[in-house]
Amino acid sequence: MGVPFTIEVAAVDENEDRDHDPRTLVSGNAALKADAVSHFHPQAWVLGADTTVFVDDTVLNKPRDQEEARQMLRDLSGRAHSVFTGLALRGLNEGVAINRGVESKVVFRTLTEEIIETYLSRVHTLDKAGGYAIQEEGELIVERYEGSLTNIIGLPVDETKQILTEVGLCS
């Protein structure tokens, strides 16, 4: 997008309540991150984001271990689920606080135990919401998706550009 940036990890405790509404969860976490970093850099534009997977009225965050990742893949097998990302842009000196949400749908192939084990042997899944990464060996597990692919990967590029354009940071 042509906007120079640095990455700063927000020192916050994210809400990971699996029974929470996923839209509210990611929106709150994105705002929490952006607000925390803005506090230390009030002159900067700060973008916070958070992504989660939602199926069966349950939030699937990052798995704790390989067994939980395995179970997440089993739970998603042959089914559709949603991927939600919350975006929060802060410009304290400008008095700007923008919050947006993006949803994409993903349909998984029916996965055998062999496919699950192959996938887990090829992809590090412990830092991925839902225990998978569509951009890594996605053809093994994903049948199709609807909406923003970059949202499923983790940061919805078009929506991010739209927000940055609104405040004059890119065109």
Domain locations in the chain?
A: 22-166
The pLDDT tens digits for 32-48 are 999 999 999 999 999 99
Contact between 85 and 92 under an 8 Å Cβ cutoff? The reply is no
CATH topology for the 22-166 domain: Maf protein (3.90.950)
Write the pLDDT tens digit of every residue in 114-165: 999 999 999 999 999 999 999 999 999 999 999 999 999 989 999 999 999 9
Quote the tokens at residue 58. 């349950």
Tokens of 68: 């939980």
Task: Give CA–CA dist 127/115, Å, rounded.
Answer: 20
Question: What's the predicted TM-score (pTM) here?
Answer: 0.90
Separation in Å, CA 115 to CA 53, 77, 92, 141:
20, 10, 48, 8
Average pLDDT, stretch 93-102?
96
21 as an active site residue: the answer is no
CA distance 8 to 26: 18
pLDDT for res 1:
87
Mean pLDDT of the chain: 95
Over residues 56-68, the pLDDT tens digits come to 888 998 999 999 9
Rounded-to-integer distance, Cα 139 and Cα 49, Å: 26
Tell me which of 50, 56, 127, 158 is the catalytic residue: 50
Q: 45, 56 in Cβ contact below 8 A?
A: no
Q: How far is CA 101 from CA 73, 87, 128, 144, in A?
A: 25, 6, 19, 21
Contact criterion met (CB below 8 Å) for 14 and 29: yes
